Structure 1
Amino acid sequence: MRWAVVGVALGLALAPQAHAQEVAPSAWSGNVAVASQYVSRGFRQSWGQPALQGGIDYASPSGWFAGTWASTVSPYFVEGGHVEWDLYGGYAASYGDLHYKAGLYYYRYPGAEVSATRTSMNYGEVVLGIDWHDWSLDYSLTVTRDFFGYNSQTLGLGQRSHSRGSGYLSAGRHFDLGHGYALALHYGWQRVNHFSSYSWTDASIGVSRAFAGFDVTASYSRGWNSAGVFRDYTTGVPDAQGRIRTSYPIAGTWILTVGRTF
């Protein structure tokens, strides 16, 4: 569910990109980061706890790219899950100042499932995107039967409905503030097919700067859901002390990330 991975892949294939560094001549690159928490599409997947993240990418001169990325997550957010593991590949090219890409992304949560229904949380999306100067626009369409395990059984809504065809629209703008500082704005809208009450929007703002070879980013993110279905979010599974953990995972929150690309 990491929306930023789309931009990372394009940056590797089409440097320079606003937040990407130069790709090594081998076309291979990697990244590691420590974040105060992992927030994706407005959701605090690490339940407000620190997250360790990293990935490896390949971008060919002809425009084809592939990669993998992972982050720690919380089992209080993803039942039985401790890691989000993303696999992706696609093609990116340019026409003048317009950059475009198309890719297939698969998001895995090893060991995670909704135990009451034995439903997997894994899902796949086709992603299309364009970048023009400092603007970016991406659309992700769910092609697997379910988006993040959402269906009639897991949500208790409807009869035998699944969420294939859900879509996420992401728009962003980058600003060079000078003296090495950059500002990034993001707005996203997730439509959950057949379960509109679970759709939401999210937005974030972040400032980043490079220090001694490390990229430091401070950002603020929050989400909105008019139906209020996420206000007491829980997997419903007791923890080791027998407590049911609940939270409001799209509430406004700050994130500090320190990372390095190599």
Structure 2
Amino acid sequence: MPCTALRPAARRRPSLITLAMLLATTAAPVLADTSGTATMAIDTEVKLLSDLRNRGISDSGRKPSAQLNLQLAHESGLIALAQLSTVSDKAFTGSDGYNLLLGTGYRWGDPDGWHFGVGLAKEFFPGARFDAPHAIDLEVGEPVDFRRTRYDTAYAVLELGWGKLEGRILNVISRTYRGADTGGVCGQILAAAVDPTPAIECYLRGDKNSRGSMLYDIGYKLDLTPTTTLNLHAGTQRIRHFKEADFSDYSLGVTHQRWGMSFTAEWVTTRTHRPELFLIPDGNGWKRQDDDRLVVSVGYKF
């Protein structure tokens, strides 16, 4: 959740290119057993996007983003992934400009029938943090108890699917979901809303975090031609203790394979309860991050 009350400290920012190269060097050759049969596969993909959307919300400030994906899959069902993306330092206050997602888990079942997966994942936002009020003094009408919150988030993941219909449930096991605590939610409403009443009502519920939030996704892929796929997605988020932050997202897209690359055009729409929670500073005003948008991307696997 964006928050404008940050007091960031000066620091040296590591190079995103250096980090990308470091991740890329982890991609070892495909391993094989003594019979010559591959037992492990590693996929590496570089992607450029017109806007980086996570659950329908822009992580890149509605600006272009670059992404590096690495995925390892063992024949036993064990998987691991790493994803490095550029993000906005306004959407994630004080950020060094990138997000790192790491995950591991286990998948089993029939890819053409019922299949399942379980895992753990954590996303890191180096440098991103904000100081915000976690209470309000009603006698004087002033926010108090400024404390620091970070955006780093950990998840427990359950996947289940049938054929090309895929479902996923994520449970937030870290203290907050992307900074959603009393300071991040109530403080953002207080900073961005014209009427302070919703913020006061939020503060009156006491000091809360969002551990235990539930995130749901369902997606379906339909092959239109051997090289073209229709992508359908719907998701909903239930942020614990903060019903103001609940939202749903939907997308409809087409992916086409050509010249060894994947070209995708996707229409993304989001339904939020309090849009001011999804605003970031823009000059002397605010810019929405939950607007409807056509997102295009191109990816190359090697």
Band of TM-score, shorter chain: 0.7 to 0.9
**CA deviation digits over 1:89-117, x for unaligned, max 9?**
00001147111101101011011011343
- Match of 2:162? 132
- Match of 1:14? none
- Following the alignment from structure 2 to structure 1, what is the Cα–Cα distance between the partners of residues 219 and 53? 16
* 1:197/1:229 contact within 8 Å kept: no
TM-score (norm 2): 0.73
Matched pairs, number? 232
Structure with the larger helix share: 2
- Following the alignment from structure 2 to structure 1, what is the Cα–Cα distance between the partners of residues 108 and 40? 18
How big is the shift at 1:59?
1.0
CA distance 1:54–1:121, shift in 2 (3 Å): same
The one-letter code of the counterpart of 1:147 is: Y
**CA deviation digits over 1:42-88, x for unaligned, max 9?**
00111111101012221111001112101101112110121111000
- Following the alignment from structure 2 to structure 1, what is the Cα–Cα distance between the partners of residues 290 and 227? 30
CA distance 1:103–1:184, shift in 2 (3 Å): same
- Match of 1:202? 249
Q: How does 1:79-228 map to 2 (within 5 A)?
A: 79-81=93-95, 82-95=97-110, 97-116=113-132, 117-156=147-186, 157=202, 158-228=205-275
- TM-align CA RMSD: 1.7
CA distance 1:43–1:162, shift in 2 (3 Å): same
- Following the alignment from structure 2 to structure 1, what is the Cα–Cα distance between the partners of residues 81 and 220? 24
How big is the shift at 1:228?
3.6
Sequence identity percentage? 26
**Structure 1, gaps ≥5 residues long:** 1-23
- Match of 2:82? 68
2:280 to 213, 226, 234: 234
* 1:52/1:71 contact within 8 Å kept: yes
- Match of 2:50? 36
TM-score (norm 1): 0.84
Q: Which has the larger radius of gyration?
A: 2
How big is the shift at 1:230?
3.6
**Structure 2, gaps ≥5 residues long:** 1-37, 133-146, 187-201
* 2:218/2:235 contact within 8 Å kept: yes
SS in 2 for 1:246: strand
2:296 to 250, 253, 256: 256
SS in 2 for 1:111: coil
- Following the alignment from structure 2 to structure 1, what is the Cα–Cα distance between the partners of residues 293 and 159? 27
- Following the alignment from structure 2 to structure 1, what is the Cα–Cα distance between the partners of residues 45 and 90? 26
SS in 1 for 2:43: strand
How big is the shift at 1:216?
0.5
CA distance 1:40–1:31, shift in 2 (3 Å): same
- Greater shift, 219-228 or 133-142, is seen at 219-228
CA distance 1:52–1:245, shift in 2 (3 Å): farther
